[in-house]
């Protein structure tokens, strides 16, 4: 146990101070403070010594230098059981400081509210993190508090120990203080990397907050948690039991597709991080029905993401099958009542989600792969029609829709589309030909009509041999879109012309492994 005799308080966030000050006063703990915090403490009718008087050194440089003084840091860093330290404190007329309560200038908030570089720089705290690090280092003797959320814990600790703190409490607060200073410095580092457009610096520091610990990972024997750059996710769970690791993985896979579709039209069904049905239609019920028709068996137990508001009529349709999660850009009240009848269903509002400034991460063997996401929209200039037969406006739109979905399907990927809806998806095969066969089998299994007019196909990479495109054409495909780059591109073009097939080349490849 260490008795708290003297505390230094220097906080940017001055909320919740009253109950804390009352407790410190209760145990006759002397207070030192600076600037606005000093004024706040005095306003709350508590005794306090201003730092400039305590150190006999004025605040200078417009407040940039206040707590950076030997009397402050010697008081924090001195080891209580070190005789030479004690002698030096006495020789210099310095006192021990037993408790440091700080929170930092709101750098993160300032980043959100302004692009003014000078204002952002002035909100880089120096004194606060320095004191926090000093106190955290000396946790054997000193208690450090770095968040208003810790005030209640400190109050309970002091009340339980009659004005003292335990070693375990100090160590825990030290751990949290070092996390706080590391997070703060990471924000600053990230800001400077962004303004210099240094996306891959020599030392990469990741900024993230714990959102929640999950029940387990992909399997019950694996531990898991979800972190975010923000304090909260930009999606909101409004109903249902806790989400699992696999749920989140599927949710992110569904959202990145639905956000890429034309607003207020798109429905995506995902199973095991792969789409099994996608469509765009102004009639939301029709949009869902078309997506479901692509592969209704795989949709069972899947996740649905709609880039529109779900109404009563669609909710009634959704309740006809078992789903794990339904995501939408909000829900009508009647729709919520209907969907909440399913006890095991989770409902997510993704209306506030933006894919701006996102990156993709893959981690294994204590290494991290980072890349920019493959989410840029397609334009006509990205493609070149290489066949003699040219696509109509409708056919070209279907080809681009198919190619957009294809880039979110695990490679090797083949997507069959008709009337702005997927009708067959082949994914994750080592052989592109096998993916073609799977997509065709899905189409033949679930499409009720034998009319093959208007079927288009997309491939996420070039066909290395004619057999792939030949298999698609034999199944009724009349137009194909694929990246160029194969040594057999000329053979593919020749085959397309011989079979009167539309062939469009993309200038970019879109693997998703």
Domains of the chain are 2-195 (3.40.50.1380), 236-349 (3.40.140.20), 380-506 (3.40.140.20)
Q: What is the pLDDT of residue 274?
A: 93
Q: Tell me the pLDDT tens digit for each residue of 285-323.
A: 999 999 999 999 999 999 999 999 999 999 999 999 999
Three-state secondary structure of 74-140 = HHHHCCCCCHHHHHHHHHCCCCCCCEEEEECCCHHHHHHHCCCHHHHHHCCCCHHHHHHHHHHHCCC
3-state secondary structure of 211: strand
Q: Is 117 an annotated catalytic residue?
A: no
Please report the pLDDT score of residue 508 as a whole number.
Answer: 87
Residue-level pLDDT at 78: 95
Give me the residues paired with residue 326 across strands.
304, 347
pLDDT band at 361 (very low <50, low <70, confident <90, very high): confident
Query: Which of 116-125, 153-162, 219-228, 443-452 is least confident?
Result: 443-452
Compute the half-sphere exposure of residue 148: CA atoms within 13 Å on the CB side of its CA. 10
For residue 347, what are its two tokens? 């409902």
* Residues 6 or more apart whose Cβ sits within 8 Å of residue 434: 412, 426
Q: So what's the pLDDT on residue 349?
A: 96
Distances (CA, A) of 319 to 57, 208, 282: 71, 36, 21
Mean pLDDT of 151-164: 96
Residue appearing with tokens 């999606």: 235
Model confidence pLDDT, tens digit, residues 25-81: 999 999 999 888 999 999 999 999 999 899 988 888 887 888 889 999 999 999 999
With 90 as the cut, is the pLDDT of residue 128 above it? yes
> In this model, does residue 419 exceed pLDDT 80?
yes
Name which residue leads in pLDDT, 513 or 120: 120
**C-beta separation of 401 from 419 below 8 A:** no
pLDDT, tens digit (0-9, with 9 covering 90-100), for 326-337 = 999 999 999 999
Selecting among 46, 110, 272, 340, the annotated active-site residue is: 272
Q: Has 379 been annotated as catalytic?
A: no
Provide mean pLDDT across the span 151-172.
Answer: 97
Predicted pLDDT of residue 314: 97
Q: What pLDDT shows up at residue 363?
A: 83
Give the DSSP letter of residue 342: S
Residue tagged active-site, from 137, 153, 286, 312: 137
418 - beta bridge partners? 421
Q: What is the pLDDT of residue 403?
A: 95
Cα–Cα distances in angstroms (integers) from residue 453 to residues 233, 419, 450, 474, 476, in the given order: 44, 10, 9, 13, 7
pLDDT, tens digit, 9 for 90 and up, residues 369-391: 888 888 888 888 899 999 999 99
Share the mean pLDDT of the chain. Answer: 93
């Amino acid at each position: 146990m260490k008795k708290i005799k003297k505390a230094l308080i220097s906080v940017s966030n001055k909320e919740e101070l009253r109950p804390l000050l009352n407790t410190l006063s209760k145990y006759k703990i002397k207070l030192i403070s600076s600037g606005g915090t000093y004024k706040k403490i005095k306003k709350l009718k508590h005794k306090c010594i201003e730092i400039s008087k305590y150190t006999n050194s004025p605040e200078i440089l417009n407040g940039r230098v206040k707590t950076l003084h030997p009397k402050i840091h010697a008081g924090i860093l001195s080891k209580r059981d070190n005789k030479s330290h004690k002698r030096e404190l006495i020789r210099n007329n310095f006192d021990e400081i037993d408790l440091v309560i700080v929170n930092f200038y709101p750098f993160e908030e300032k980043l959100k509210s302004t692009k003014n570089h000078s204002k952002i720089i002035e909100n880089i705290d120096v004194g606060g993190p320095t004191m926090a690090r000093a106190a955290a280092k000396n946790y054997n003797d000193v208690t450090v508090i770095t968040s208003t959320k810790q005030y209640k814990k400190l109050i309970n600790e002091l009340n339980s120990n009659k004005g003292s703190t335990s070693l375990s409490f100090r160590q825990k607060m030290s751990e949290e203080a070092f996390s706080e200073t590391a997070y703060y410095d990471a924000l600053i580092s990230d800001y400077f990397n962004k303004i210099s457009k240094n996306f891959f610096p020599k030392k990469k520091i990741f900024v993230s907050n714990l959102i929640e610990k999950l029940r387990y990972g992909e399997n019950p024997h694996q531990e898991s948690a979800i972190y975010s750059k923000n304090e909260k996710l930009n999606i909101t769970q409004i109903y249902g039991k806790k989400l699992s690791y696999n749920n989140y993985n599927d949710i992110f896979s569904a959202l990145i597709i639905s956000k890429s579709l034309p607003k207020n039209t798109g429905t995506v069904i995902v199973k095991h991080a792969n789409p099994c049905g996608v469509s765009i239609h102004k009639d939301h019920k029709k949009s869902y029905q078309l997506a479901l028709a692509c592969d209704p068996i795989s949709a069972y137990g899947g996740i649905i993401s709609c880039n529109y508001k779900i109404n009563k009529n669609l909710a009634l349709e959704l309740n006809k099958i078992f789903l794990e999660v339904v995501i939408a850009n909000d829900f009508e009240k009647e729709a919520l009542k209907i969907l909440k009848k399913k006890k095991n269903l989770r409902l997510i509002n993704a209306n506030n989600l933006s894919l701006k400034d996102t990156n993709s991460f893959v981690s294994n063997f204590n290494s991290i792969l980072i890349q920019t996401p493959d989410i840029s929209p397609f334009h006509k200039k990205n493609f070149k029609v290489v066949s003699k037969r040219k696509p109509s406006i409708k056919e070209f739109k279907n080809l681009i829709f198919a190619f957009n979905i294809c880039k979110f399907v695990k490679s090797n990927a083949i997507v069959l589309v008709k009337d702005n809806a997927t009708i067959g998806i082949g994914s994750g095969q080592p052989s592109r030909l096998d993916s073609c066969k799977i997509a065709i089998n899905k189409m033949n299994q679930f499409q009720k009509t034998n009319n093959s007019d208007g079927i288009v196909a997309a491939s996420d990479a070039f066909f290395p041999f004619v057999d792939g495109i030949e298999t698609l054409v034999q199944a009724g495909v009349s137009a194909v879109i694929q990246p160029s780059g194969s040594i057999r591109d000329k053979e593919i073009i020749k085959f397309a012309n011989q079979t009167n097939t539309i062939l469009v080349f993309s200038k970019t490849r879109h693997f998703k492994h």
